[in-house]
Amino acid sequence: MATFSAKRKNSPPVAATTLLLHFGLLMGSLDITGAQIGVCYGTLGNNLPSPKEVVDLYKSSNIRRMRLYAPNDGALQALRDSNIELILGVPNDQLQGIANSTNTANDWVQKNIKAYLPSVKFKYIAVGNEILPGDDDSKAQFVLPAMRNIQSVITSAGLQNQIKVSTATYSPILGNTYPPSVGDFRDDVKSFIDPIISFLASNGAPLLANVYPYFSYKYNQRDIQLSYAMFTSPSVVVQDGGKGYQNLFYAMVDAFHSALEKKDGGDSVEIVVSETGWPTEGGVKTTVQNAQTYNSKLIQHVKNGTPKRPGKPIETYIFAMFDENQKTSSELEKHWGLFFPNKQPKYPISFSSKGPIDNGCSEGVLLSIVLHV
């Protein structure tokens, strides 16, 4: 903050000073609003802009965070000197090699992290995505050893305070979730997740979690109201002791918080919501209007914190930047985009209090982009 001289000859008029102060406060509030929101950038399409074009879009929109699910040289090169913070993923098919060999871990960090320092601002390394015992035992056994080997290399390089090592999980890892205070990890995954939580706590790293109220609603329409899933309920839906839940997103995030709190050291581990969103086609209630409503209201809610963590903004990433026409798992998976391939918005959405984006750009806001490959 500038300090004004006692000499008032060249000082700005009081009205102008007041205006400047209000402007500074406004920009600060916009920064808080937007800084928590990310947008996932999936690449499984044959009509998408190049990584350089997309990074240019981030910069023109004042986007300062990105998440790559796997190293991508085009994107990493484009990120140089961009001042965009980055979450970089270790792909699931590379976990075994990194877990079994410190040399492989060192080579991975050298090639994909150190080669781009200091011009690329790495924030997290996400070691694996949505791996659970039982679903994929062949990979689950390698998650923690790979995290440890990556951490060892990061620490040896003196980067442990700059770059945190984590893994991305998702809601099926939880057993009890209702009400949120009883949230806990499934009994059959505790031997997998407990040492991971200890690792995160000892290294000051967050747990990345993919949280989708849409899927909870889709598979339980009998018990879950659409308005509760979309942030539009006019009143509290779930009363959990002294805490009232008016939307499902808060309830799901706090179920993760409750699960963590039941573990030694887990209460110090933060949650970063690494994916959430609402599709526009291909399934139940998949309309452009519903997607616009969910994502717009999400942006406003994450800055407030949950009932369990009030006032503590939630770092959250919307899925996705573009529709991905080459996804093959289901039609639903192809229609999560905020933007058309020509970089124009699919629907108006406001990332700040300044109003909806109508040209693919936002003003005075920090966004984060996830490159999903």
For residue 339, pLDDT over 70 is answered with: yes
Q: What is the pTM of this model?
A: 0.85
What pLDDT, on the 0 to 100 scale, is given for residue 137? 74
Q: What does the pLDDT read at residue 63?
A: 63
Q: Is residue 66 part of a domain?
A: yes
Is 60 exceeded by the pLDDT of residue 35? Answer: no
pLDDT value at residue 368 = 39
Residues marked as catalytic: 130, 275
Taking phi first (over 0 means left), then psi (-120 to 50 degrees means alpha), and beta for anything else, what does residue 208 get? beta
* Structural domain that includes position 170: 38-372
The enclosing domain of 100 has a CATH number of 3.20.20.80
Q: What is the pLDDT of residue 372?
A: 41
Distances (CA, A) of 185 to 22, 143, 156, 169: 46, 17, 33, 11
- Between 3-7, 74-78, 122-126, 253-257, the lowest mean confidence (pLDDT) is in 3-7
Average pLDDT on 164-169 reads 97
pLDDT per position as a tens digit, 68-106:
888 999 989 988 998 888 889 999 999 999 999 999 999
Structural domains counted in the chain: 1
Is residue 43 situated within a structural domain?
yes
Q: Is residue 184 within 8 Å of residue 259, measured between CB atoms?
A: yes
Q: Establish if 274 belongs to a structural domain.
A: yes
Q: Averaged over 25-35, what is the pLDDT? A: 41
Tell me: the pLDDT tens digits for 233-244? 999 999 999 999
Q: Is residue 182 situated within a structural domain?
A: yes
- For the chain, what percent of residues have pLDDT higher than 90? 67
- C-alpha 272/C-alpha 254 separation (Å) is 12
Asked whether residue 359 carries a pLDDT value surpassing 80, the answer given is no
pLDDT for the residue 37: 77
Instruction: Tell me if 22 is assigned to some domain.
Output: no
Residue 4 lies in a domain: no
Once rounded to an integer, what is the mean pLDDT over residues 171-178?
94
Residue type, position 209, single letter: A
Q: Is residue 294 part of a domain?
A: yes
Confidence of residue 2 (pLDDT cuts 50, 70, 90): very low
Q: pLDDT tens digits for 103-134?
A: 999 999 999 999 999 999 999 999 999 999 98
Q: b/e per residue, 85-105, with b = 16+ CB within 10 A?
A: bbbbbbebebbbbbbeeeebb
- Region 10-18: mean pLDDT is 36
The answer to whether residue 14 sits within a structural domain is: no
Which percentage of the chain shows pLDDT scores above 70? 84
